[in-house]
Amino acid sequence: MSLHPALQLVSIARTYGEGENKLEIFKNLSLTIVPGEIVGLIGPSGAGKSSLLHIAGLLEKPTDGDVIIAGQNCNHLDDAARTRIRRIGIGFVYQFHHLLPEFSALENVMIPQLIANTPKLEAEKRAKDLLGRMGLSHRLDHRPAELSGGEQQRVAISRAIANRPLLLLADEPTGNLDPPTGAMVHAEFVRLIHDEGLGALIATHNIDFAERMSRVVKLNNGMLVDD
């Protein structure tokens, strides 16, 4: 486990536009997440939860402030270095699974590992282990179209964790699932994050899901407050 926080957002500001059209999304926003900690991110639609996740995931640069991943300040890195950190240090889970339809569940979890130059046998072993821990050992050879919505999202979660990132970011990861399936995936998701020792920031509208997390912060008027 890293000795550094998985994520530090320090005095983050983000504005769009200029002059009279200037829109301030965040101002002096700070957050620290340590390995093994799951932080729920809540707030009304339009508050900027997705924008905050994009900044934390190095997909978007803040107007001001520092984004520090596992002790490394990422603000002044070039695009290639930021891409490398996203590939090996950050896992992403979205509301829609975005699985590759022509590949099996096993292959979908192997592919990011192979891109990161993990040997094939090692990647296959890791994929089988993760899918097994998500209750999908009997579905390894099935393509996404042959899986239920809950199974597809569990594959997506396994894929996000496959390269052993230090930080996991998720945006409404069970928003497309019915309540019983969502509750099942919630429980497996939280357990897997704890088992892997990740730091995680999860945006959700689901209060029951948020209550399973280490703590919850609310995005309100461009600031984060403890909920």
Residues of the chain with pLDDT > 70, as a percent, come to: 98
Over 60: is that where the pLDDT of 151 sits?
Answer: yes
pLDDT at position 130 is 93
Reported confidence tier of residue 227, pLDDT bands at 50, 70, 90: low
CATH class name, domain 7-226:
alpha beta
pLDDT at position 23 is 82
Q: What is the mean pLDDT of the chain?
A: 88
Over 70: is that where the pLDDT of 171 sits?
Answer: yes
3-state class (DSSP) for residue 120? helix
